[in-house]
Amino acid sequence: MARIALDVMGTDRGPAEIVAGAIMAAGAGNELVLVGDREVIEPELTATGADLDVVHAPDVVGMGEDPARAVRDKPRSSIMVAARLVASGDADALVSAGSTGAAMTAASIVIGRLEGIQRPAIATPIPRATGIPTLVLDAGANLEVKPAHLVRFAVMGALVAEIVYGIDRPRVGLLNIGEEPSKGREVERSAFGLLEEAPVNFVGNIEGGDIPGDVADVVVTDGFTGNVVLKTMEGTAGLVLALVSDAFGRRPGGIPGEMLRVVEEVRMLIDPELCAGGAYLLGTRSGVVIGHGSSSRNAVFNAVGLAAEGVKGGLSERMERGLARS
């Protein structure tokens, strides 16, 4: 069974929420090692009668700290201790909802990168009406990319779609400003040709409006565009739901309870945190899942599930072989 090292520290809601998610995940059959301040974690476990492994780490990397420096200066921080558990084989994958930069740095240094990967990429699952998310990568780790990077993103993303979401021959789209191969910047025009030759099911250029649709299962782009797009989607979805609620609220008699429930249903369907709980950090030797800093227990539960699915499907091993072939 997959054994997941969970970094309990450095999140917005505090360790109790992360431990609560861990207990849910353990209840669903996951094997976990909680990494963090034993003095804080153990009372939470005792209170609920849960019996999970704990590995003590006295230090924490805060959200505001410079990741490279913090990771170097705090070898006993929870993220570094958790990464070492994975590197040594005491755990199979890492989940952290703390500083994304610290998790990326710790994973790169301690767990190591796959051959040909200079810097891991972040693959974020986006809710779709079909119920199966689209993966967008890179979502912010590599702000500027070369055409060959986009090919690696395609290979890695397609493996996640296949192994974790059970999609057969996942469709890979290149995010662009039009369908024709001649569209876009030099990087997109060059990547188009490379993706046609790559061992993926490349469906061509897709536009921003296609991301939430059923056009591609994996969308590759640079980390700047990816990050902006993800935040734009979140903001737009929030605005539209607020407008719908407001419009109901202005009706005589106010907003009917049933309509409120419908809006809430949709809000939960499209909440990226509830959809997946975290984003994959791809290109490291073992699985790494990064949760949002404000992750709830449900998000932690889902993030652990993502990490476990990856281990079960041999994601890292298959990715190493896939990258070697591409």
Q: Which residues bind its own copies (CB under 8 A)?
A: 128-129, 140, 143-144, 175, 177, 184-185, 207-213, 221, 223-225, 227-244, 246-248, 251, 258-259, 262-263, 265-266, 269-270
- Smallest gap from Cβ 100 to its own copies, in A, equals 11
Backbone φ, ψ for residue 214 (5° rounding): -105, 50
Question: Residue 40 or residue 269: which is nearer to its own copies going by CB?
Answer: 269
Question: Residue 125 or residue 287: which is nearer to its own copies going by CB?
Answer: 125
CA distance 79 to 107: 9
- Smallest gap from Cβ 125 to its own copies, in A, equals 15
Question: Residue 223 or residue 310: which is nearer to its own copies going by CB?
Answer: 223
Question: Residue 231 or residue 321: which is nearer to its own copies going by CB?
Answer: 231
- Smallest gap from Cβ 124 to its own copies, in A, equals 13
Question: Residue 87 or residue 121: which is nearer to its own copies going by CB?
Answer: 121
- Smallest gap from Cβ 300 to its own copies, in A, equals 23
Question: Residue 68 or residue 241: which is nearer to its own copies going by CB?
Answer: 241
Question: Residue 115 or residue 144: which is nearer to its own copies going by CB?
Answer: 144
- Smallest gap from Cβ 209 to its own copies, in A, equals 3
- Smallest gap from Cβ 190 to its own copies, in A, equals 14
Question: Residue 188 or residue 309: which is nearer to its own copies going by CB?
Answer: 188
Q: 245-274: b or e for each residue (b if 16 or more CB lie within 10 Å)?
A: beebeeeeeebeeeeeeeeeeebeebbbbe
Rounded to an integer, what is the distance from CA 318 to the centroid of its chain? Answer: 19
SS (H, E, C) the chain: CCEEEEECCCCCCCHHHHHHHHHHHHHCCCEEEEEECHHHHHHHHHHHCCCCEEEECCECCCCCCCHHHHHHHCCCEHHHHHHHHHHCCCCCEEEECCCHHHHHHHHHHHHCECCCCCCCEEEEEECCCCCCCEEEECCCCCCCCCHHHHHHHHHHHHHHHHHCCCCCCCEEEEECCCCCCCCCCHHHHHHHHHHHHCCCEEEEEECHHHCCCCCCCEEECCHHHHHHHHHHHHHHHHHHHHHHHHHHHCCCCCCCHHHHHHHHHHHHHHCHHHHCCCEEEECECCEEEECCCCCCHHHHHHHHHHHHHHHHCCHHHHHHHHHHHC
- Smallest gap from Cβ 142 to its own copies, in A, equals 11
- Smallest gap from Cβ 299 to its own copies, in A, equals 18
